Structure 1
Amino acid sequence: MALFFVNGATFATWGVHIPTIKTRFGLSDAVLSMAMLAVAFGAIIAMGPVGRWISRVGSTRACMSGGVAYGLATIAILAMPHFHALVPALIAFGMASAVFDVAMNAQAATVESQRHKPIMSALHGMFSLGGMVGAAVGGLLLSLQVAPLAHAIGMALLTAGVGLASKRWLLPDHPTAPHADKGHDHAGRALWLLGLMAFLGLVGEGAMYDWTSVYMREIAQAPIGWISFGYAAFSGGMAVGRFTGDLARARWTDGGTLTASAWLAFVGISLALLWPSPWASLLGFAMMGLGAANMVPIFFVAASKLPGVPPAEGISRVARFGYIGLMLGPVMIGGVAHASDLRYGLGLVALTMGWIALAGARTVRRYLSS
């Protein structure tokens, strides 16, 4: 829980200081967007080798190394004196984030397998909580005029310290299940299907983060003070869904929970699109958050249990598809909205949720051993 919390808080530290970086280097919105994409690019290119490396050295060592690297990369972002040095630092930050993210999820899969009860959703809830706390603390420090570099150093020390201290309590990775050639082929197909679902799920999640405020203002015609409530409703639904998701997984299995979650998300976004009033939109976005909350945890658990595939490697391959969806989703929605209407753009999200509801449970039930 501590690893997931500091991961979220560290990423929030970067988010809080995006305006700081824009002002320091005098960046336009277009250049700033490219700088932000550097973080996602670093994570995506790291996902392949990171999974194989963690499979060799173990998730315990990777959590320790990832925590230190993540902390150092956070400092580097706010210590760079020139923009041409900032971009490599942002790529390194994305790569360090990938190491830490895959390592802690691989360890979480090991812990869940030995406890024989679902815990992954709550751990992802701790990541969300860490992001909320990290953003709040960052805002407070900015209001107190604390130097951004001092904030980054403090967060880096906490992240690195938790990573190093975790060695005492982390567990050896569970062994990779043996397989026959036919089983290996099935695992390969399963990884592609899980990756596709992660891509589609995070297309929707990224769209919600980037477009809910615009929808509230332009389509729902909400009062100016309500515009940010769409983002808050979705985020609140995500938090509630993750902290209650393990109870649902224990009662209805991962396949059943995934089906119910996807249908809930589908109904929620459809409600917002078909009844674009402020209150209906808020309810729909909250339902979308509840539904989307447990998709990624379930996909990661499924990837970690495939026969013949080391957990870290399975998680990293699925996570790579997810990162691509998170990065491209808002752009895809924006393109459709520009050509037609934002409601049609967000209609793509409804379609992705419907596809996951229809095909996702079948895939998860087929390849999960429990």
Structure 2
Amino acid sequence: MALFFVNGATFATWGVHIPTIKARFGLSDAMLSFAMLAVAGGAILAMGPVGRWVARLGSGRASMLGGVAFALCTLGILAMPAFTLLLPMLLLFGMTNAAFDVAMNAQAATVEASRPRPVMSALHGMFSLGGMAGAAFGGLMLTLGVPPLAHAAMIAAMTALTAVGVAGGLLADHPAMPTTDHHHRAHASRALWLLGLMAFLGLVGEGAMYDWTAVYMRDVADAPLGWISFGYATFSGGMACGRFGGDLLRARLGDARTLTGSAWLGFAGIALAIAAPWPVPTLIGFSLMGLGAANMVPIFFVAASRLPGVTAAEGIARVARFAYVGLLLGPVLIGGVAHLANLRFGLAVVAVTMGVIALFGARAARRYLTPR
């Protein structure tokens, strides 16, 4: 829980200081987008090697090293004196984030496999909680006029000390179920592609919600100025609540039924926001979408960690790569549709992704998900 919390808080620190970076180097919106793309690109490029690295080193030790490296890169971003040096640092930031992310999720899969009841959703809830805490603390530091480098140093120290401090309490990874059968290996490969595709669809919707909720509240729902940020807040709040309650659902219903119900809930939320584009119904719809999206990634990661012949780290890394691509392309895809039609049509793409997962995803992947 501590590792997930500091990961969320550290990544939020980068988000808080995006305007700082833009102002310091006088970046245009296009150049700022390029800088943000470097973070996502670094994570996507690193996913393959990272999975093998974590599997070889063990998720406990990799969590410690990945957390310390991620902390140092967070500090490095705010220390760069020139934009030409910032870009490679952002690439490293994305890579170390991927290493920390895969390692702690592989460790989480080991912890869940060692317990009688699921815990993965609650751990992802701690990531959401850490993100909210990191953003709130960053806002306080900006209000108090604390220099950005000093703020980054505080967060980096917290993350590095946590990663080192908890390392001794982490578990040894369970060995991958061995298989030399070609049929089993092909089965595992198909499973990873299928889980990755579902993760891609799920994160297309999630990424779109992060970037487009405020715009939808302002331009479509005609919300008052003070309500515009509530769209993001209700979606994030729904995500946090859904994750902290998700393990109970997974234990009672199983992963397959939880996934199907979650996807239908997300579909209903977006449908409500599109059909009733006024502030209150839209906020209710966004909160339902948050509840629906909350447990998708935890379920996909757990399923990927249990495939025969594949280590937990490698399975999670393969699925996470698809997820990162979806998170990156989601906002762009919705923006393109909105440009050609309008934002209500753009948001309908999110409803379609949820509907596809609800209708076909869980049914197709049922053999890889925990039944009840």
- Sort the TM-score into its range (normalised by shorter chain): over 0.9
Contact 1:255 1:360 in 2 (8 A): no
Q: Secondary structure at the match of 1:140?
A: helix
CA drift at 1:168 = 1.2
1:93 maps onto 2:111 in alignment: no
Contact 1:254 1:364 in 2 (8 A): no
1:127 maps onto 2:108 in alignment: no
| Residue type of the alignment partner of 2:315 | G
The corresponding residue for 1:257 is 258
Q: Secondary structure at the match of 1:115?
A: coil
CA distance in structure 1 between the aligned counterparts of 2:58 and 2:369, rounded to whole angstroms: 22
CA distance in structure 2 between the aligned counterparts of 1:216 and 1:368, rounded to whole angstroms: 36
CA drift at 1:35 = 0.4
Q: Secondary structure at the match of 1:177?
A: coil
CA distance in structure 2 between the aligned counterparts of 1:340 and 1:64, rounded to whole angstroms: 47
The corresponding residue for 1:296 is 297
Contact 1:302 1:364 in 2 (8 A): no
Instruction: Kindly report the root-mean-square deviation, in angstroms, between the aligned alpha carbons of the 2 structures.
Output: 0.9
CA distance in structure 1 between the aligned counterparts of 2:12 and 2:82, rounded to whole angstroms: 22
| Residue type of the alignment partner of 2:350 | V
Cα displacement string for residues 21-80 of structure 1 (whole angstroms, at most 9, x for unaligned residues): 111111111111110111001100000100011111100110011011001101110000
The corresponding residue for 1:79 is 79
CA distance in structure 1 between the aligned counterparts of 2:269 and 2:33, rounded to whole angstroms: 29
CA distance in structure 1 between the aligned counterparts of 2:44 and 2:309, rounded to whole angstroms: 23
CA drift at 1:157 = 1.1
Cα displacement string for residues 89-125 of structure 1 (whole angstroms, at most 9, x for unaligned residues): 0000000000000000000000000002110000000
CA distance in structure 2 between the aligned counterparts of 1:294 and 1:46, rounded to whole angstroms: 24
Contact 2:273 2:283 in 1 (8 A): yes
CA distance in structure 1 between the aligned counterparts of 2:61 and 2:40, rounded to whole angstroms: 24
CA distance in structure 2 between the aligned counterparts of 1:240 and 1:49, rounded to whole angstroms: 33
Q: Which runs of 4+ in 1 moved over 3 A?
A: none
CA distance in structure 1 between the aligned counterparts of 2:157 and 2:234, rounded to whole angstroms: 33
CA distance in structure 1 between the aligned counterparts of 2:170 and 2:190, rounded to whole angstroms: 31
CA distance in structure 2 between the aligned counterparts of 1:225 and 1:262, rounded to whole angstroms: 30
CA drift at 1:167 = 1.8
CA drift at 1:273 = 0.5
Q: Secondary structure at the match of 2:310?
A: coil
The corresponding residue for 2:37 is 37
Larger deviation: 79-88 or 174-183? 174-183
Cα displacement string for residues 285-316 of structure 1 (whole angstroms, at most 9, x for unaligned residues): 11000000000000000000011110000000
1:226 maps onto 2:207 in alignment: no
The corresponding residue for 2:70 is 70
| Residue type of the alignment partner of 2:306 | K
CA drift at 1:142 = 1.1
The corresponding residue for 1:116 is 116
CA distance in structure 2 between the aligned counterparts of 1:364 and 1:270, rounded to whole angstroms: 25
CA distance in structure 1 between the aligned counterparts of 2:255 and 2:326, rounded to whole angstroms: 22
The corresponding residue for 2:336 is 335
CA distance in structure 1 between the aligned counterparts of 2:224 and 2:152, rounded to whole angstroms: 36
Q: Secondary structure at the match of 2:254?
A: helix
| Residue type of the alignment partner of 1:311 | A
Contact 2:195 2:300 in 1 (8 A): yes
Q: Secondary structure at the match of 1:281?
A: helix
CA distance in structure 2 between the aligned counterparts of 1:355 and 1:214, rounded to whole angstroms: 25
Q: Secondary structure at the match of 1:117?
A: coil
The corresponding residue for 1:186 is 187
Matched residue count: 370
CA drift at 1:346 = 0.9
| Residue type of the alignment partner of 2:308 | P
The corresponding residue for 1:24 is 24
Larger deviation: 212-221 or 263-272? 212-221
The corresponding residue for 2:236 is 235
Cα displacement string for residues 161-192 of structure 1 (whole angstroms, at most 9, x for unaligned residues): 11111221100001101222211111100100
TM-score normalised according to structure 2 size: 0.98
CA drift at 1:369 = 5.5
CA drift at 1:364 = 3.6
Q: Secondary structure at the match of 2:319?
A: helix
The corresponding residue for 2:159 is 159
1:8 maps onto 2:8 in alignment: yes
Contact 1:306 1:368 in 2 (8 A): no
| Residue type of the alignment partner of 1:23 | A
Contact 1:107 1:170 in 2 (8 A): yes
Q: Secondary structure at the match of 2:172?
A: coil
Q: Secondary structure at the match of 1:34?
A: helix
CA drift at 1:262 = 0.2
The corresponding residue for 1:59 is 59
Cα displacement string for residues 187-220 of structure 1 (whole angstroms, at most 9, x for unaligned residues): 1001001101111100000111111111111111
| Residue type of the alignment partner of 1:265 | G
1:278 maps onto 2:279 in alignment: yes
Q: Identify unmatched segments of 5+ residues in structure 2.
A: none
The corresponding residue for 1:345 is 346
TM-score normalised according to structure 1 size: 0.99
CA distance in structure 2 between the aligned counterparts of 1:233 and 1:369, rounded to whole angstroms: 30
CA distance in structure 1 between the aligned counterparts of 2:5 and 2:119, rounded to whole angstroms: 14
The corresponding residue for 1:204 is 205
